[in-house]
Amino acid sequence: MRKLITLLALILLSLKGFAPNCNMITVLTPESIIYDSTLLAIMKVESNFNPNAVNYIEDAVGCLQIRPVMLREVNRIQRELGRIELFNLEDRLDSTKSVKMYYIVQQYYNPTGDSKLSARLWNGGTTKYLPQTEDYWNKVKKLI
């Protein structure tokens, strides 16, 4: 629990002022990120809140286990929307930047903030209805 609180505190301090343009969360505040139970459940499933977690087989790293393909998609979205901030491979180990990437994907593909779609997007990418995403959703749902 202490690890989770420390991670959330660091993320919150770094995200002050970051405001994704979506219905899910309009401004990231301590209250909003703590109450984003889907994000927290995904972090638990992906890495047990470990910002240094590495899956060498999939080249997924960080608290949200971001793969290079997801990083490329985040940067594609950023360019399409005319945003200046782009991310690099090392940013996946930065919990704050990982959470930003999560919200970029969510606001683009899931503007209503549907929890099931959120989990399936994170697990299956933009092919969100792959069969294996149902098992992933069940893991996340159990934690929400």
> Per residue in 92-131, pLDDT tens?
999 989 999 999 999 999 888 888 989 989 998 766 566 7
Going from the C-alpha of 53 to that of each of 75, 92, 95, 106, the distances in angstroms are 22, 10, 11, 22
Residue 82: pLDDT band (50, 70, 90) is very high
The tally of domains found in the chain comes to: 1
Both tokens assigned to 69: 């393909």
**132 is in which domain, residue-wise?**
2-143
Going from the C-alpha of 10 to that of each of 4, 94, 124, the distances in angstroms are 10, 10, 28
Residue 88: pLDDT band (50, 70, 90) is very high
- pTM, entire model: 0.78
Say which CATH number the domain at 109 has: 1.10.530.10
